Amino acid sequence: MSRIAQIAAELAGYDPKALDVTAVQAFLQRLAASGEVADVERVALRDALGRVLAEDIVSPVDVPPHDNSAMDGFAFDGGLLQADAPSDASICLRVVGTALAGAAWQGSLAPGDSVKIMTGAVMPAGLDTVVPQEFCAIDGDELRFPSRVLRRGDNRRLAGEDLQSGKAALRRGELLSPPALGMIASLGIPTVPVMRRVRVAYFSTGDEILSLGEPPREGAIYDSNSYTVTGLLQRLGCEVVDLGLVRDDPEALAATLRRAADEADAIITSGGVSVGEADHTRAVMQQLGDMAFWRVAMRPGRPMAVGLIPKPRPAEGNAVLFGLPGNPVAVMVTFFAFVRPALLQMMGCNPTCCAPPPLLRARTVAAIRKKPGRTEYQRGHVRMVPGALPEVRVAGNQGSGVLSSMVEANGLVVLHHDQASVAAGDEVDVMMFEGVR
């Protein structure tokens, strides 16, 4: 049994002519496991943003390495505080020195002494509480502040409260974000082991497509998909193999697919996967690989193909193929909904990172018509409302070839499979563009 047939057999009710969105996602989760990269490389921490961690990062030190002050103020023995003190009670202390960040204070202390302390400075031995300087009245070396403004231990960071020596700071499969890089740097680690970047080959198909620089001709359109897909892949951190535009010719298509399988881990095409007399793409894909052709219950993006194209050297396995629709908006919607999570899985990300983009809850400004039985992704513009749920309005013409409304939008209103029309003021889910890798 082929791998595609095996996956299909695992999914209850699988019907390639009528797949819902969740079935496609479940199928691709299994398929992506066939193409997960295994190569590991070590890179400088400054070059690790967006890479996938290949091994656990175990902390070699406590962070912070010592008890320290969380703010500018005065350190003292919190045992002087009394929970049942009168509301007007004050604490009077003597200031005997100053503790600066970067060096431990070396003075000696007597009962009732305090030390002026800067944020991040090591807490002097025997002192465990910091009173913020704005609460204090100072007269020479005498310090006074209200007793009831603090509890023992306030404004002190404990050694190891962030990270403890010998414990995992980050787990394998984490997608390295700016905060993660900062945390690794706090451990004194200059390089990190990461998974090799996934290589993705892309090409557009169709005799009606023009490359940039070609003169216009009747019935032809310029290739926009290669630029949107390349941008989406680069944003995801993939290495892009741009194979340009391929005419609707069986030999050219076959040669390009073989090259793509040789040079990349995954292949993305746009156009040629729907049923059409002039499209040879489906036939060539079936000839070269283990394929499935779908009609997905969604709008836009109904036709889609997925499969495995063998690499020239059998020991190297297969390249995972995603055949996307030709319409520009449908390409982007299917990428966000299906291709992005699959590529993240191939990159070695953990299940949390591989999940489809999180959805924001918002209220519609106007009614949106929809029939149950398919998932719709409508371009929308979300506006934040102080003290209330965000508002979303549908952005412009919703045709699958209309890029201007995609530019106007900042997210996709997701109307789920069983959902019907929504009225103005109803809550809907929105997949936001910003924050989605």
What is the spatial distance between Cα 328 and Cα 223, in angstroms, rounded to a whole number?
Answer: 9
Q: For residue 269, report the phi and psi dihedrals to the nearest 5 degrees.
A: -120, 160
Domain boundary among 157, 186, 211: 157
**Do 184 and 234 reside in the same domain of the chain?**
no
pLDDT of amino acid 437:
46
The pLDDT of residue 272 is 80
CATH number of the domain to which 427 belongs: 2.40.340.10
Residue 277, pLDDT above cutoff 50 = no
Count how many domains the chain has: 4
Domain endpoint, select from 354, 383, 408: 354
Residue 226 lies in a domain: yes
- Mean pLDDT over 148-163 rounds to 94
Q: Are residues 168 and 98 in the same domain?
A: no
* Claim to verify: residue 348 and residue 266 sit in the same structural domain: yes
* Residue at a domain's end among 128, 157, 186: 157
CA distance 397 to 394: 9
Buried-state track 268-302, b at ≥16 Cβ within 10 A, e below 16? bbbbbbbeeeebbbbebbeebbbbbbbebbbbbbb
The answer on pLDDT for 306 being more than 60 is yes
pLDDT given at position 276: 59
Q: Are residues 235 and 348 in the same domain?
A: yes
Range of the domain at 149: 68-157
**Which pLDDT value is given to residue 279?**
65
Do 346 and 210 reside in the same domain of the chain?
yes
Q: Are residues 338 and 245 in the same domain?
A: yes
Q: Please check whether residues 274 and 329 belong to one and the same domain.
A: yes
In a domain, 114, yes or no: yes
What is the pLDDT, as a whole number, of residue 434?
79
Please tell me the least confidently modeled range out of 80-84, 282-286, 381-385, 410-414: 80-84
pLDDT over 60 at 436, yes or no: no
Q: Does residue 437 lie within any of the structural domains?
A: no
CATH number at 16 reads: 3.40.980.10
**pLDDT tens-digit readout, 13-67:** 899 999 999 999 999 999 999 899 999 999 999 999 999 999 999 999 999 999 9
Q: Read off the pLDDT of residues 327-350 as tens digits, 9 standing for 90 and up.
A: 999 999 999 999 999 999 999 999
Task: For residues 48 and 277, give the distance between their C-alpha atoms in angstroms, rounded to a whole number.
Answer: 47
| 403 and 270 both lie in a single domain | no
Residue 170 lies in a domain: yes
Asked whether residue 130 is domain-assigned, the answer is yes
Neighbour tally for 423: CB within 10 Å: 9
- Indicate whether 339 and 208 sit together in one domain: yes
Say yes or no: 132 and 153 in one domain.
yes
Residue 85 has pLDDT above 50, yes or no: yes
CATH of residue 52's domain is 3.90.105.10
Name residues whose C-beta falls within 8 Å of residue 108's C-beta, 6 or more positions apart in sequence: none
254 & 340 share domain:
yes
Is 123 a residue whose pLDDT tops 60? yes
Assess whether 288 and 381 both reside in one domain.
Answer: no
- In a domain? residue 210: yes
Asked whether the beta carbons of 132 and 155 are under 8 A apart, the reply is yes
**Between residues 353 and 372, which one has the greater pLDDT?**
372
